[in-house]
Structure 1
Amino acid sequence: MLRPLLALALTGHSATATPHKPITLSSTGGFQTGGRTISAPFNPNLTLSCDHGYMEYFLPAHPRKTSLVMWHSSSTQVWQNTWSGGPGFKDLFLRRDYPVYLWDGPRVGRANWACEPTAYTPAYTDTSNFVAWNFGPRYKQWWDDVRFPTDDDAAWAQATSARYVEYDTRANVELHARAAATAADSGRAGRHIVYLTNSAGGLRAQLAAALASSTNIKGIVAYESIGYVYPDNINVTAGKGGFGPYVVPVEAFERLARVPGIQFVWGDHRAENYSFVAESRRVAGLINRLGGNARVVKLGEVGVRGATHIPFADLHNEDVADLLDGFLEDNGLDGYADGDEDDEGGEEEVE
């Protein structure tokens, strides 16, 4: 059940807001996962380890059993702070005692050792990103209720510069999904994993769940997912680019449908005829017909208004976090590690 939000106080949170309780950690660190080793064509004795993903982890002293793997489309920065510099989802959920993992997929961010040549060409996308990130209908025409500090030029500069190079191709979708599936199957991020994704990360997480051989992936919460996975028995034509549709064998789609809880979350300025909203409803229906548990949530319909494409970085991100709290509780994912004898939590899995 989606819990209603009552009497929401949609106020911004800045870096100097009322102090929160301290975050007490048992350990922090990071590790590589997935990838492969290749040999130089001119000398097989020379090798390169490449195409791995990278996890940075933060483990509370008294952890819950569920690990939140925060999967960006732009950069890990979007999980660390609000647009105004206030606490992001990383700190909000560490204070709730959830182990937090920040994920860099292969060839981006801190996992940028590629097994193939890559190239970067400046694309001058700040203007187009304004609309793509749902700040308003056209450049610098903000939605009246947008939860962004619209009069803060420094915040806009931070938003547009906190980016990694993205490779939105089918091959890259598969590369990221395989690395994430390997990470989930390894257990190093715990045995109860919820992928929190944004934008093009949503497609990659869906495919990772379809590829994973374990049952460690317990949930996917996809904020404004751009791209969807379909089974191969419903006459959907696979897309040629990096935003889907992505078609998998029906048995792989059934693995996605067995993930205990899935949410596709949209801001209130996304129309029902927006193509990816329509796709999210179709895929949720396909999952549910297989006995799964997928829902589409429009934030405006539950009292969270003015959301951008990255609602967990908005000035009301604590209200968005409250919705995630409800999802975790409703799916039995909010228990503590020491209360579940069958689970070791994230803490002992990381060396």
Structure 2
Amino acid sequence: MVLNKILTAGLAALLAGAAMAAPIVIESQGSFTVGGRYVQHEGTFSQENFVAPDGQRAYGDFAYVQYQIPHQARKLPLIFQHGGAQSKRTWESSPDGREGFSTLFLRAGYSVYLLDQPRSGESNLTTQAITPDTPWVSNPMYGDKTLYVLSRIGHFNEKGEPVPNEQFPAGESNYQAFQQSWTAGSGPLDNDLNAKVLAKLVDQLKDGGILVTHSMGGTIGWRAAILSDKVKGIIAYEPGGTPFIFPKTEMPRITEARFKALSASAKGVPLKDFLKLTRMPIVLYYGDHIQVGSANVGEDKWGTELAMAKQFVEAINRHGGDAVLVHLPEIGIKGNSHFLMQEKNNKEIMKLALDWLHSKGLDGRE
């Protein structure tokens, strides 16, 4: 009975939101895969033993891409790269059924390409077995409180019940919807592979595109922009959890979290590669409840990421680039978590990016 009430409430919210929205004219939509490879097993295939691997191939390590192109679309599409243990669902509907970034930006005239990175979501075929050090691969995944706290969604009261922050939709149905968005990786996490596939997607689009990344997807975006000359801009929502990119000779200071393993990290690359990140404008957005030394492990962890992000922006601009970091509380937008694109004020958050795109001349039409 409780489950039925939760599902009914979620469906009602979704239908109510859909009923209020104006129609969107879609010129084309579809899906495809990018990249990928196969491994050939030795032997000869036989119908007498047709389930054996002999003589067969294992395919995997590609990205699944779903796209929508609106009528009279703007010239440059947005390419959405999700974070760790997530999928393209990050950018779709909010936990309480409101429109997510994929639809909001579509309404603003942008073509949207939603990507499931290799070994995640609908790209779950892999040529390599899961390794013990791969994060978030276990099923069942007993980690709802861990992920809730690390994402700064909120905290838990003395009864162990979730207490959300100001902007995350409250209630058990929204808590459940959020927890059901996690995706266990099917193979080893390989962000160089992820970046190569993302760069290949950008390269095959006529005019290139603008990357929109989240969390651990941040490093994938930086690396893809080094690999592709067709990245025209990067919007990064709370990048972190995987290394920021710096010149090898200019490695940053490390701010350590109380749990050292949660500290922000950096990866050194040749200066000639780093300079490629100065060719396009970059904006980073961070939400609220971020503080080094906080008793909340998520707030503490993201304090170290914010400190690293500031050094990243300084390094980009020091070398003639165009990067800016926006810490939302500093401009009067308060209460957001790590999943700011899904929260009650996501239209306000999205409007910031629209204004930034306009200021950089990235919102033109054909």
Change in 2 beyond 3 A, CA 1:62/1:291: same
Partner of 2:102: 90
Partner of 2:142: 124
CA distance in 2, matches of 1:34, 1:185: 12
1:52 alignment partner, SS class? strand
Greater percentage in helix: 2
CA distance in 1, matches of 2:79, 2:69: 12
Partner of 2:225: 209
Tell me which structure has the larger Cα radius of gyration. Answer: 2
Change in 2 beyond 3 A, CA 1:243/1:193: farther
| Contact 1:230-1:283 within 8 A present in 2 as well | yes
1:63 aligns with 2:73: yes
1:104 aligns with 2:116: yes
Cα offsets for 1:165-209 (capped at 9, x unmatched): 14897x61111111111111222xx42411111111111111111
* 1:30-41 pair list within 5 angstroms: 30-41=31-42
CA distance in 2, matches of 1:211, 1:42: 37
Partner of 2:273: 252
Partner of 1:305: 334
Of 322, 325, 335, the match for 2:354: 325
Cα offsets for 1:96-141 (capped at 9, x unmatched): 1100010111111111111111374234110011111112255756
Change in 2 beyond 3 A, CA 1:158/1:19: same
Q: Give the drift of 1:247.
A: 2.1
Query: Structure 1 stretch 14-23 or stretch 200-209: which is displaced more?
Result: 14-23
Partner of 2:204: 186
Q: Give the drift of 1:272.
A: 6.8
CA distance in 1, matches of 2:186, 2:21: 38
Partner of 1:348: none
| Contact 2:252-2:308 within 8 A present in 1 as well | no
Change in 2 beyond 3 A, CA 1:217/1:153: same
Q: Give the drift of 1:93.
A: 1.1
Partner of 1:280: 309
TM-score (norm 2): 0.79
| Contact 1:135-1:146 within 8 A present in 2 as well | no
Partner of 2:235: 221
CA distance in 2, matches of 1:127, 1:255: 39
Partner of 2:28: 27
CA distance in 1, matches of 2:168, 2:357: 27
CA RMSD between the two structures: 2.7
Q: Give the drift of 1:240.
A: 10
Instruction: Give the residue type in structure 1 aligned to 2:20.
Output: P
Partner of 1:51: 61
Q: Give the drift of 1:83.
A: 2.4
Change in 2 beyond 3 A, CA 1:129/1:68: same
Partner of 1:159: 178
1:292 aligns with 2:321: yes
Cα offsets for 1:256-299 (capped at 9, x unmatched): 221x2111111121237811001100011111111111111011
Partner of 1:6: none
Unaligned runs of 5+ in 1: 1-13, 338-351
Cα offsets for 1:308-332 (capped at 9, x unmatched): 1111100110000110111110111
Aligned residues, how many? 316
TM-score (norm 1): 0.82
Change in 2 beyond 3 A, CA 1:45/1:160: same
